[in-house]
């Protein structure tokens, strides 16, 4: 298919007003039964012609918010995206679901560009993807003025802000749109922006009258883990080997050299690991990016030049071998994991040298003094996040103005709370050493003074005569580095100057005077503990997992034929649902999320045929249910299992109900009930036809809430198992 080829479907545009309804498009084109979160309100606002600013996390369904209005409204929807290298995949994904669309950028020759321009003029496509640079060309603006437009969608809108982490000057020139196209609604979208950045988006893009939608920034499926650097590369390998031996992931490094070294080292370890940084040729970067998108289990090792707009849903982990620039950068980069909603990991190892390097890079940049001051504040906020001993998710969301009432239970600090110690005396020793050495030295020198190491530098400056020389031998060098790092994070010290000297802040006076105590977090020792599997198929039984893998093989074959990444054919989440549900007809397959009319027509028969060739499944527990059962057999406590697995008690009860129904766990082991009570429950279940209706509410109301829903689920499972035994007994007798 050429760059300009478009797809004629029943959803193709005409010049007449459209009578399509957003919910019909959602179901018939994209294959979903209902909108998520605020999508319905956003779509309705844009369809009605209103300007909108949408802040929604990665994987939250932002693209639906402009794609559906572009299909429903008359005219061509223009999508402004900074990502030329990804436009073809974005367009291919839409064509797979039957949407007519094209892109216009510098990768096309003049003939191809003219073909696309003709499609726009004739209104024969629904969506046009352009870069801001291409859009701002007078030729493009004139073309669009002569065309019928449905909307402008400004993706990655945080690029407009000089305070943001991906500033693109061209984005600020998009303020021309309301002047040249006053009657065309605009929707600006971003996955991350603090309050300052939000206000700049509104100001720069002239969205003062826009309706603003801010969805929760929480990504509950991502587990956050941060550790101090010791041997970072080997710690990274332990993390990958234990948790993601075959998964796709992204690893961020601060320098190009580190990217190359890390990719080569991982390749030596047997992983497919590819570098990506600004020093590589465009061809090599594109080649590595395409391999990452199209192949399974590829790891990309990159600088921050990689990732924005990457739509690969099955990235299972993001690693950082150095500090990002800010919490926004960290959130954006870690958000590239787990877009499909399945469990994913965000892992980071950091050290004080990372902070030093980031500040050096900032000092050497061309930014104004105000800009540098703001960025230093952002960097310090990230260091504070790293040094937390409390829930990371609460702090992360709090940075974006969102409150999480309870600790998340899915970060390293929640799962393995760090120990703390009274560090008041250690803090006083460290701060005194900074003061007595005239605030002119870095951490390594100060640690050597505290440990009483008489090297040449210490003797040259006479620091072996300081009162603090040798008074810190109760701690190791690594522990003292941790003390200094935490003092910086607490804003008692700051790093300044060409030689990264430590300086006292005004806040440290209270500590030195003994008016304020300090609690330090103990260094977290690296443990080789395997996390729970994050594969989407891990919740499947062994039988269903085998079908899942066959579906993946079929998808890979179809993707190769279509010359598109596998996830464009179908997400892992949809494959897992197929493996579980075993749809044996096109109608049944159409009920699976993500299967609209176009995909059903293209791939439905092949998928249904594969399913019908599989042996009928025998009932068995899924892997996650088996884990809960094993832990329950060990602890004999639902609450302990829930705490161990960081899941709700109702979820554990549901898992145990599955085990009870298969005869793998006696009901009395879960709930103690005497015979008369059990008989009473059984009579009510028969009376209310619960086993056939599969509804617990009538039973709950019958007993006036005496038994919670989790307990009732286990009780009903028991009687379901008893009925199966009775039926088998009858069959044997016959």
Mean pLDDT, residues 175-182 taken together: 95
Average pLDDT for residues 39-57, to the nearest whole number? Answer: 95
Residue 11 counted as domain residue: no
Same domain for 38 and 175, yes or no, is yes
Q: How confident is the model at residue 164 (pLDDT cuts 50, 70, 90)?
A: low
Residue 580: per-residue pLDDT? 84
Tens digits of per-residue pLDDT, 662-697?
A: 888 999 999 989 888 999 999 999 888 888 777 888
Q: What is the mean pLDDT of residues 99-128?
A: 93
Whether residues 661 and 551 fall in one domain: no
Strand partners, 317: 249, 345
**451 belongs to a structural domain:** yes
CB neighbours of 347 closer than 8 A, spacing ≥ 6? 225, 226, 236, 239, 317, 318, 319, 320
| Last residue of one domain, picked from the residues 469, 494, 521 | 521
- For 483-498, the three-class secondary structure string (H helix, E strand, C coil) is HHHHHHHCCCEEEECC
What share of the chain has pLDDT > 70, as a percent?
Answer: 93
In angstroms, the CA 535 to CA 60 distance is: 20
Q: Are residues 149 and 168 in the same domain?
A: yes
Q: Is the pLDDT of residue 63 over 90?
A: yes
Domain of residue 234, residue span: 222-415
Quick check: 15 pLDDT over 90?
Answer: no
Is 503 in the same domain as 355? no
- Token pair of 389 as six digits: 């001993």
What backbone phi and psi angles, to 5 degrees, belong to 29? -95, -50
Q: What pLDDT band is residue 168 in, cutting at 50, 70 and 90?
A: confident
Residues 398 and 372 in one domain: yes
At residue 722, does pLDDT exceed 90? no
Q: Read off the CATH number of the domain in which 426 is found.
A: 1.10.10.10
Question: 596 lies in a domain?
Answer: yes
Compute the average pLDDT of residues 247-271: 95
The enclosing domain of 245 has a CATH number of 3.40.50.300
In DSSP terms, which residues pair with 222 in a beta bridge? 344
Q: Same domain for 143 and 179?
A: yes
How many separate domains does the chain show?
Answer: 5
- Do 287 and 406 lie in one domain? The reply is yes
CATH number at residue 576: 1.10.150.80
Q: Check whether residue 191 and residue 236 sit in a common domain.
A: no
pLDDT tens profile 410-428? 999 998 888 889 999 999 9
Question: Are 428 and 410 contained in the same domain?
Answer: no
- For residues 41 and 154, membership in a common domain is answered with yes
* Of 590, 615, 595, residue with least CA distance to 555: 595
- Kindly state whether residues 334 and 408 are assigned to the same domain: yes
pLDDT digits (tens, 9 = 90+) for 351-398: 888 888 888 888 888 778 888 888 888 888 888 899 888 899 999 998
Could you tell me if residue 563 is inside a domain?
A: yes
Question: Which residues have CB under 8 Å from 583's CB, separation 6+?
Answer: 589, 591, 592, 607, 608, 611
Residues 229 and 345 in one domain: yes
Would you state the pLDDT for residue 288? Answer: 93
Tell me how far CA of residue 178 lies from CA of 128, 183, 507, 571, 733, in angstroms: 18, 8, 48, 37, 80
In a domain, 687, yes or no: yes
In a domain, 437, yes or no: yes
The pLDDT of 31-51, averaged and rounded, is: 93
With 90 as the cut, is the pLDDT of residue 253 above it? yes
CA–CA dist 96, 98 (Å, integer) = 6
pLDDT in tens, 314-325: 999 999 999 998
Tell me if 16 is assigned to some domain.
no
pLDDT in tens, 571-586: 888 998 899 889 999 9
Q: What does the pLDDT read at residue 498? A: 67
The model carries a pTM of 0.73
Name the 3-class secondary structure at 534. coil
Q: Which of 90, 221, 110 lies closest to 153 in space, CA to CA?
A: 90
Q: Is residue 257 part of a domain?
A: yes
Domain boundary pick from 521, 545, 573: 521
Average pLDDT over residues 289-311: 84
* Dihedral sign computed on CA atoms, order 417, 422, 428, 433: negative
Residue ending a domain, among 161, 189, 214, is 214
């Amino acid at each position: 298919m050429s760059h300009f080829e478009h797809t004629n479907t029943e959803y193709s545009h005409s010049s007449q007003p459209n009578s399509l309804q957003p919910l019909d498009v959602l179901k018939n084109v994209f294959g979903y039964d209902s909108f998520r979160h605020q999508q319905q309100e956003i779509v309705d606002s844009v369809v009605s012609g209103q300007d909108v600013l949408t802040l929604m996390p990665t994987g939250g369904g932002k693209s639906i918010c402009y794609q559906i209005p572009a299909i429903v409204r008359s005219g061509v929807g223009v999508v402004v995206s900074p990502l030329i290298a990804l436009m073809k995949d974005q367009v291919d994904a839409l064509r797979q679901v039957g949407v007519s669309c094209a892109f216009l950028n510098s990768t096309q020759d003049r003939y191809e560009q003219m073909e696309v321009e003709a499609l726009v003029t004739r209104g024969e496509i629904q969506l046009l993807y352009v870069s801001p640079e291409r859009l701002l060309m007078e030729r493009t603006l004139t073309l669009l003025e002569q065309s019928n437009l449905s909307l402008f969608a400004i993706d990655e809108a945080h690029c407009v802000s000089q305070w943001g982490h991906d500033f693109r000057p061209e984005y600020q020139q998009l303020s021309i749109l309301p002047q040249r196209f006053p009657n065309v609604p605009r929707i600006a979208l971003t996955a991350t922006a603090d309050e300052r950045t939000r206000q700049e988006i509104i100001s720069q893009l002239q969205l003062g009258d826009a309706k603003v939608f801010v969805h929760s920034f929480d990504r509950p499926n991502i587990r956050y883990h941060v550790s101090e650097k010791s041997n970072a590369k080997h710690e990274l390998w332990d993390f990958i080997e234990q948790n993601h031996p075959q998964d796709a992931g992204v690893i961020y490094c601060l320098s190009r050299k580190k990217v190359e070294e890390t990719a080569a080292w991982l390749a030596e370890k047997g992983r497919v690991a590819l570098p990506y940084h600004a020093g590589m040729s465009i061809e090599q970067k594109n080649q590595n990016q395409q391999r990452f998108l199209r192949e399974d289990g590829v790891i990309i090792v990159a600088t921050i030049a990689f990732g924005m707009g990457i739509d690969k849903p099955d990235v299972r982990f993001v690693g950082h071998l150095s500090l990002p620039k800010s919490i926004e950068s960290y959130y954006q980069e870690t958000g590239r994991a787990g877009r499909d909603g399945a469990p994913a990991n965000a892992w980071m190892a950091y050290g004080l040298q990372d902070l030093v390097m980031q500040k050096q890079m900032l000092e050497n940049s061309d930014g104004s003094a105000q800009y540098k001051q703001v960025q230093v504040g952002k960097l310090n906020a990230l260091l504070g996040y790293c040094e937390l001993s409390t829930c990371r998710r609460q702090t992360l969301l709090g940075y974006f103005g969102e409150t999480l009432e309870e600790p998340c239970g899915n970060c390293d600090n929640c799962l393995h709370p760090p120990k703390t110690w009274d560090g008041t005396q250690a803090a006083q020793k460290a701060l005194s050493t900074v003061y007595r050495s005239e605030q002119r030295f870095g951490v390594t020198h100060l640690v050597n003074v505290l440990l009483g190491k008489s090297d040449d530098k210490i003797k040259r400056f006479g620091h072996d005569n300081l009162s603090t020389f040798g008074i810190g031998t109760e701690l190791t060098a690594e522990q003292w580095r941790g003390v200094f790092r935490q003092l910086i994070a607490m804003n008692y010290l700051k790093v300044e100057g060409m030689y990264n000297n430590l300086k006292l802040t005004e806040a440290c006076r209270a500590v030195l005077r003994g008016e304020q105590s300090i609690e330090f977090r103990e260094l977290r020792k690296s443990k080789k503990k395997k996390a729970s599997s994050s594969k989407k198929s891990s919740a499947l039984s062994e039988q269903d997992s085998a079908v899942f893998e066959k579906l993946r093989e079929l998808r890979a074959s179809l993707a190769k034929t279509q010359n598109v990444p596998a996830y464009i054919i179908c997400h892992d989440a949809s494959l897992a649902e197929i493996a579980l549900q075993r749809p044996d007809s096109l109608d049944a397959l159409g009920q699976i999320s993500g299967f609209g009319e176009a995909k059903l027509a293209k791939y439905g028969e092949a998928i249904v045929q594969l399913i019908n060739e599989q042996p009928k499944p025998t009932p068995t527990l899924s892997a996650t249910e088996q884990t809960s059962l094993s832990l329950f057999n060990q602890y004999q406590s639902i609450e302990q299992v829930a705490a161990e697995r960081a899941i709700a008690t109702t979820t554990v009860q549901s898992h145990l109900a599955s085990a009870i129904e298969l005869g793998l766990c006696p009901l009395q082991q879960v709930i103690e009930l005497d015979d008369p009570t059990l008989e009473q429950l059984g009579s009510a279940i028969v009376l209310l036809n619960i086993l056939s209706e599969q509804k617990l509410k009538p039973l709950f109301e019958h007993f006036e809430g005496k038994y919670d829903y989790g307990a009732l689920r286990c009780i009903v499972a028991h009687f379901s198992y008893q009925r199966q035994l009775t039926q088998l007994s009858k069959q044997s007798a016959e």
